[in-house]
Structure 1
Amino acid sequence: MNELTDYYDGRDLGCNYSRTESIFKLWAPDAVKVTLALYQDAGSYDENGEVTVHTDGFEIGMKKWKDGVWFLRFFGDLAGRYYMYKIEGKDGNIRYAADPYSHAVSANGSRSAIVDMKAWNPPGWEDEKRPPLEGLEDVVLYELHVRDFSADPESGFKYKGKFKAFTETGLRDSEENKIGIDHLQELGVTHVHLLPLFDFKTVNELQVDNPDWTGLKYNWGYDPHHFNVPEGAYATDPQLPGVRILEFKEMVMALHQKGIRVIMDVVYNHTFSVDAGPFEAVVPGYYYRRDADGKLSNGSGVGNELDTERPMVRKYILDSVRYWAEEYHIDGFRFDLMGLIDTDTVAQIAEELHREVAPSLLIYGEPWTGGETTLKKQTLKGSQRSLGFAVFNDHFRGAIKGDSDGSGKGFATGQPEQEAAILEGVKGAVFDFADSPLETINYVTVHDNLNLWDKVLTTQGLRSEAGFQEIRDGKLTHGGDLREAVERSDPYRSVSSDHILQSETVKRAILANGIVLTSQGIPMIQAGDEMLRTKYGDHNSYRSGDIVNAIRWENKRKFKPVFDYYRGLIELRRNHPAFRMTSKEQVEKHLEVLHCQDNTVAFMLKDFANGDTWKNIIVIYNANSHDIRMELPFSLSGWKVAVNAEHAGNKAFDFTVDEHVGVKALSMMVLYEEVGGAPRPAKRVEVQYERSDGKYEGWNLWVWATGLREQRVDFERVEYGKAIASFTVPAYVKRIGYIVRLNDWEAKDADQDCFIELGHGQSAITVRICSGSDGSKKIS
């Protein structure tokens, strides 16, 4: 079709209801005639759950208004009625279409519904507020599917698979462990990222709770139909349009009351169908991207992609996310295949939501596509720089775990020489593709591909031992009963109930997410990682139903030490801003690399990083299958241990005054140094360096000694023509080696190693070094 020039900038498309009148506005610029069809009911459903006959309505002609919009004002209270648009095109074809801007629909989205939105607000909704959030750096994400959360038949949920399951508090397992929403609060996550919540196509809402129904009744929801309506399969009564609105808001309200914000996974890159979708019948040929031959572009991999660069498509997306943020109090959006949405659109969404709704809304997405696209300005890694949104960091993901579905390994799963890539991610990708750590979403696994436990088992060659069979589209590829196969499997065969944290698989899984939770950037974990969740080897479980996908809450009891470890790491992160730096400058200033080789990464967050109360924090990742011994910087007060292979938290449970520490195989360690601790015997060394040319810029000391790791010491100031540097060493150190160098070995002041001899019984010493000399002169 020719490019339409009509553009309507109002935010009132759709049905604008009040008790005295309803105003309908539809953007259909090339329609010859548009008629509103009103219905008393949802229509007659066929055996597939579809309503295909819409000629039984009361039809009223609409007026061609302005900017391509058709207009109708209907006096009277229409709440409870349904409607469609009857559209006659220039080709003479007549089509019945639901409203693309529908706020409510009948079951399976067959007809648009007219509702009084305020009448379906839960008590207290008008005063409901988002939980406090000082900055996006404080976010800890938890990716979750609504149905998976409560579908476990042994869990005790009343509202299994529903929005209302999130309102159920006080649920406990047989050993009084918290489950459900209380579990989420106990874990300490700040945001729950929920897989698509809008009305999607492939679940028959009329049959989803019928135990005798054998058709498809599970999906992740990446098959959008009505973008502005909650999914009916998650409501207790999908046939009453207002119920899903009420129960969605009850879910959001319940999470907010627990201090947890809600991220909505949105899929504005494609629709389930073109011809039967929400747009084509209204404005044929406008909403979808096409190639030079007029064929649908298929960068989504499912047959179509929305043309987001077109003004009214961009407007639709912006109107939609703003509607969810304002009407449903959603706290942020994760964009599926964001590479198919042009960067200008994403930037405009972030700018307007932060300006007009709330600056604390989190915007992020997948910076890739699902196939070839004709879009030129794709939103890929790097395109987000300083534009107010973040992207998934698959570089870091791959470095940690390896490939997504196979046996390929990463740092935590046994692949050597990944240290540099790990360190890149630890720094918040600010030397890779981001201007700020707030632009990277760090994660190991999400709903796509093998989940973490199954991935680690695969890299260890334990799939057969675990009894995993190949699953595709919810069925065993070689035939047989999926439920029986799951019940026969033994995913935790290698885990001793008495020594859970000693299992190699457990250690590798914990190390993987431990890296994520102690790195700069915004961390995300997948629901159930903290309980060693398995999907029985299914790498694409979007159709595999509850038997594969349901979170088995008994795992919390079985693997409580794993949950406690995750909770401890999250508590550590949330209490220490050193792990939550917001700029590249902060990272450069406060993150010092201590070790980056031999399957080990160690770094120090130093000098009260980002206003932390701890002076220095050391983080060590040991991906070796053997214990290691790591040198530590000298500390006057010693190093307190907050995390090791068995414990994680915000408080010290061990202490060391040594200049070395043992780190267990396949584990991590976090140590910290506080101000005000009991001082250890030490010597203070001051060096006065004098150059005849008086030029000191770039010159520094490289020092070493027994009990003192090799390190750079910068000159602090220049006084009376001399550069001054000072440092502290243990009292037992008798001799210090040093070299005066320019920057990182661009030049040396002397050709050979030089030494400072320390006297006995001295707590402080000052030495003078003259440029070009091979030694030092003690002056006090």
Structure 2
Amino acid sequence: MMRLPPRLSPGMPAPLGAHWNGLGVNFAVFSANAQQVDVCLFDPRDRREIRRYRLPEYTNEVWHGYLPDAEPGLLYGFRAFGPYDPASGHRFNPHKLLLDPYARSLSGPLSWSDTQFGYRLHSPRADLSFDRRDSAAAMPRCVVVHDTYEWEDDVLPRVPWEDTVIMEAHVKGLTMQREMACAQPGTFRALCAPTMIAHLRRLGVTTIELLPIQCFMPERHLIERGLTNYWGYNTLAFFVPHAGYLASGSPHELRAAIRRLHRAGIEVVMDVVYNHTCEGSELGPTLCYRGLDNATYYRLVPGNERHLINDTGCGNTLNLSHPRVLQMVLDSLRYWAESYHIDGFRFDLATVLAREPYGFDQGSGFLDAIMQDPVLSSRKLIAEPWDPGPGGYQFGNFPPGFAEWNDRFRDTTRRFWRGDARQQGDMAARIAGSGDLLDRRGRRPWSSINILTTHDGFTLTDVVSYATRHNGANGEDGQDGAPENYSANWGVEGPASDAVILNLRGRVQRAMMATLMLSHGTPMLLAGDEFGQTQGGNNNAYCQDNATSWLDWELAGTATGRVMASFVARLAVLRARHPSLRAARYMHGRHKPMPDLPDISWFRPDGDPIGAAQWADESFHFLGVRRASTHEGGTVDVTYTVLNAHAEDLTAILPAPHGKWTLLLDTTCPDQPEMMLEHGVRDIIVPARGLLLFAAVAAGEEGENA
């Protein structure tokens, strides 16, 4: 064991965290309101505290000190001294061991205990009381690390946005079932198994978006009910990979997984939660941020600072209007981008991050900082553009450079194929990339992340199998989760054996999946939808770390699962083959790739353009859309997509072709091969609740400029 000096030397106020410089470790931690901060050192064998040092210097609201001869592997934590005055927003309690906000590794689990609360948990004075019990026995230790990893020739794939196909997946749920033949199922090692990579490549997935992989903690009330926070939207440490996904405990497993995925041309996007922490409301535990400086890290209710603003619905809201809190978030993002080669970030409840004290602001400190950052601005940036707070729905209002989850696409697609009235106009706008909401300031169609299903809601199979949510297993009286899902069971609630119902459900699933993959914008698949994953009607399986949420890979081996997976792969091939299906710019019908051929046109069944009467007709459930774009060399790609959400077949007329029409896809007959129509043939039958895709590629002129 190293010989410990009697006191720390001053050290430096930057960088924040505990950093080894080859000769010792510098500690630096921000607190604007603490009166003293101690660093506690622990024995790695028995976890007992072996030394406590006062950080000797305070510079620019940063407490700092230097420990010579200390090395990576050192275990430590902080204790902060200051006023315990909840009415003023201050909750300092030196009896509570605190994590370093910049810790890059943690040793040992966090075991929920009454000692972790700064107040006497069962006191009649609630959080106005004060708890003097030491929490160290129930707390993990921070670990000093030295990040070194041999990336060799790793290169970020940098898939162009217009070529991007995203799959949202949960690391554990994706690989827990052993049918994928993955080693260490449920871990990062399984994520990059050859069988998994082959599956992603076959589906045409270019980018995998992982539910939170930063260290998170389940809420205590879930643990007491035998449940857990499975999804992970409850961050404890913003710089630490979640230990539950590490087979050996080494963070290099994640780096190796990313390197292997990159080698296969697949990007990795992290779902990150910077809107709140796992400390919850003012009645929550004191684990890190609350104990270091509650009044700075969190937004407090003006005039009633005892209480925290809860714009997130999770009890607290990080105060990104403060420069040091904003710095922590940006430093964390850069760390994942540079140390783990992460390709992009999906920001949970992103409206919170861009909300200043006066409300949402496109020019907020967070958004401005991200967009000018030379590292982060070059990564894929995806916003979930809503939150439960005031003015929380902000779809379409994020700045250029951000893509946004498009819930309008989800809801409209479900409603259109369900046969709801007057959906054709909105469906057309969604197919065209939602330019009505996003086409401004030079934004491109890829700005719309077209979602049909996500982790939060029904799976695709459940969308066509359940009319209502079935969340009883969550222990919230079935009242959690969205009450409206725009779903339909098509005759039977839940599993069915009737061949007619099963055939109809399959038709609707494939029609919706084709709508997703053939629309302008960036398609995002939910892992498991490609082979029929079901959650039994649970549309909020956030606490189900079990077979409810784990992908059932046995379904992929069934006849139905194989057909669906092949169908999704075929859609991806068609999307990649035809640039008119993945336009790099918005189409408005003004640009003409060829004379008399607008880039986008809408048709009714008789082959004439859709007029005002059809757009307003409540019983009109048909769309024909012809799209045209120019290849390199002047070749024009022309496709015609026909959507029939009626309950019966329709006779339709194809627009005049520029060359022969070829039927590329019929969602009601997923195995039907491509078929070229006879010259001049334009009469077709569009099957009930079916989508047809035609193409006519012809050499043409460059066309008129827009």
Quickly name the TM-score band, shorter chain normalised: 0.7 to 0.9
Query: In 2, Cα distance between the equivalents of 1:491 and 1:257?
Result: 41
Q: Is the 8 A contact 1:36 1:83 kept in 2?
A: yes
Partner in structure 2 of residue 17 of structure 1: 20
Residue 341 of structure 1: aligned partner? 353
Equivalent residue number for residue 134 of structure 2? none
Q: Which position in structure 2 is the counterpart of 1:536? A: 536
Range with bigger deviation, 263-272 or 31-40: 31-40
Instruction: Verify the 8 A CA contact 2:658 2:698 in the aligned structure 1.
Output: no
Residue 113 of structure 1: aligned partner: 142
**Cα deviation 1:392-417 (Å, max 9, x = unaligned):** 1112211111xxxxxxxx01123232
User: What is the match of residue 382 of structure 1?
Assistant: 396
**SS of match in other structure, 2:433:** coil
Q: 2: distance between equivalents of 1:261 and 1:419?
A: 34
Output the TM-score relative to the length of structure 1. 0.71
Tell me how far 1:88 sits from its aligned partner. Answer: 1.5
- Partners of 2:274 and 2:341 lie apart in 1 by 19
CA distance 1:533–1:31, change in 2 (3 Å): same
Out of 649, 660, 673, the position equivalent to 1:638 is 660
1:198-249 per-position Cα deviation (integer Å, ceiling 9, x unaligned): 0001189xxx9xxxx99445611011110110001111244xxxx1x11111
1:251 matches 2:257: yes
AA in 1 matched with 2:526: Q
Q: Distance in 2 between matches of 1:612 and 1:198?
A: 47
**Local SS of the residue matching 2:692:** strand
User: CA–CA distance in 1 between the matches of 2:320 and 2:229?
Assistant: 29
Select which of 54, 77, 89 maps to 2:82.
89
Once the two structures are TM-superposed, the CA of residue 260 in structure 1 deviates from its matched residue by: 0.9
Task: Identify the match of residue 578 of structure 1 among 577, 580, 594.
Answer: 580
Residue type of the partner of 2:252?
Answer: L
Structure 1 residue 587, shift from structure 2 partner: 6.6
**3-state SS of 1:545 partner:** coil
Per-residue deviation, residues 511-539 of structure 1 (Å, max 9, x unmatched): 11211111111111111111011001111
Counterparts in 2 of 1:254-653, with a 5 A limit?
254-274=260-280, 275-292=285-302, 293-294=304-305, 295-342=307-354, 343=362, 344-353=364-373, 355-356=374-375, 359=378, 361-370=379-388, 372-373=389-390, 380-386=394-400, 388-401=401-414, 410-435=415-440, 436-459=444-467, 470-473=471-474, 493-494=496-497, 503-558=503-558, 559-584=561-586, 588-589=590-591, 590-595=599-604, 597=614, 598-608=620-630, 613-635=635-657, 637-645=659-667, 652-653=674-675
Q: What's the counterpart of residue 120 of structure 2?
A: none
The corresponding residue for 1:194 is: 210
Over 3 Å counting, the alpha-carbon distance change for 1:650 and 1:337 in structure 2 is: farther
Determine the C-alpha separation between the residues in 2 that align with 1:567 and 1:494. 27
CA change 1:69–1:495 in 2 (3 A) is farther
| Equivalent residue runs for 1:756-775 within 5 Å | none
Distance change (3 Å), C-alpha of 1:190 and 1:42: farther
Please list every run of 5 or more consecutive structure 2 residues that lacks an aligned counterpart in the other structure: 1-11, 85-91, 111-138, 355-361, 480-491, 592-598, 605-609, 615-619
AA partner of residue 57 (structure 1):
I
Q: Report how far residue 581 of structure 1 moved.
A: 2.2
Match of 1:236 in 2: 247
C-alpha contact 2:578 2:637 (8 A) present in aligned 1: no
Measure, in 1, the Cα distance between the counterparts of 2:268 and 2:672: 26
**What residue identity is the alignment partner of 1:631?**
I
Structure 1 residues 216 and 153 mapped into 2: Cα distance closer, same or farther (>3 Å)?
Answer: farther
Which digits, 9 at most, give the CA deviation of each residue in 1:532-551, with x for residues without a partner? 11001111111122220111
Is 2:39–2:53's contact at 8 Å kept on the other side of the alignment?
yes
Counterpart-to-counterpart distance in 2, 1:232 and 1:26: 24
Match of 1:168 among 187, 190, 193: 193
Give secondary structure in 2 for the equivalent of 1:547.
Answer: coil
How far residue 563 of structure 1 moved from its aligned partner, in angstroms, is: 0.8
Equivalent residue number for residue 30 of structure 1:
33
Match of 2:153 in 1: 127
Flag the 1:40–1:510 CA change in 2: closer, same or farther, 3 A: same
- TM alignment of 1:666-745, pairs within 5 A: 666-675=689-698
Q: Residue type matched to 1:630 in 2?
A: A
Mark the CA change 1:610 to 1:90 in structure 2 (over 3 Å): closer, same or farther.
farther
> 1:385-440 CA deviation, whole Å, 9 max, x = no partner?
43x10211112211111xxxxxxxx0112323210010111111111244331221
* Compared CA separation, residues 503 and 612, structure 1 to 2 (3 A): farther
TM-score by length of 2: 0.79
With 414-423 and 261-270 compared, the bigger mean Cα shift is at 414-423
- Contact 1:578/1:611 (8 A) holds in 2: no
The 1:159–1:632 alpha-carbon spacing in structure 2 relative to 1, beyond 3 Å, is same
1:300–1:345: structure 2 CA closer, same or farther, 3 Å change rule? same
Q: Distance in 2 between matches of 1:167 and 1:432?
A: 37
Task: Indicate if the aligned counterparts of 1:350 and 1:363 stay in contact, CA closer than 8 A.
Answer: no
Give the secondary-structure state (helix, strand or coil) at the position aligned to 1:643.
strand
The alpha carbon displacement at 1:86 in A equals 2.2
Instruction: Give the stretch that moved more between structures: 607-616 or 535-544.
Output: 607-616
CA contact (8 A) 1:640 1:671 kept: yes
Any stretches of 5+ residues in structure 1 without a counterpart? Answer: 1-8, 45-53, 172-179, 402-409, 479-488, 678-714, 718-780
Displacement of 1:469 in angstroms is: 5.7
Are the aligned partners of 1:194 and 1:265 in contact in 2 as well (CA < 8 Å)?
yes
Decide whether the 8 Å contact of 1:593 with 1:604 is kept in 2: yes
Partner of 2:485: none
**2:683 paired residue number:** 660
Output the CA distance in 1 between the equivalents of 2:439 and 2:18. 42
Q: 1:97 to 1:218 in 2, by over 3 A?
A: closer
Question: Does residue 1:67 correspond to 2:85, yes or no?
Answer: no
Kindly indicate whether the alpha-carbon contact (under 8 Å) linking 1:155 and 1:552 is maintained by their aligned counterparts in 2.
Answer: no
Partner amino acid for 2:155? K
Shift of 1:64: 2.2
AA partner of residue 670 (structure 1): L
Could you tell me how far apart the structure 2 residues matched to 1:195 and 1:252 are?
15
- Distance apart, 1:324 and its partner CA: 0.7
Match among 157, 171, 174 for residue 149 of structure 1: 174
Match in the other structure for 1:99: 100
* Equivalent residue number for residue 702 of structure 1: none
Report SS of the residue matched to 2:516: helix
SS at match of 2:520: coil
**Higher mean C-alpha deviation, range 293-302 or range 9-18:** 9-18
User: Partners in 2 of 1:492 and 1:649 — Cα distance?
Assistant: 24
Amino acid paired to 1:101: Y
C-alpha spacing 1:649/1:76, structure 2 compared with 1 (3 Å):
farther
Larger Rg: 1
Change (3 A) 1:19 1:495: farther
Q: What one-letter code is carried by the residue in structure 2 that aligns with 1:250?
A: A
Query: 2-side partners of 1:130 and 1:716: how far apart?
Result: 37
3-state DSSP of counterpart to 1:15: strand
Q: Which residue of structure 2 aligns with residue 41 of structure 1? A: 44
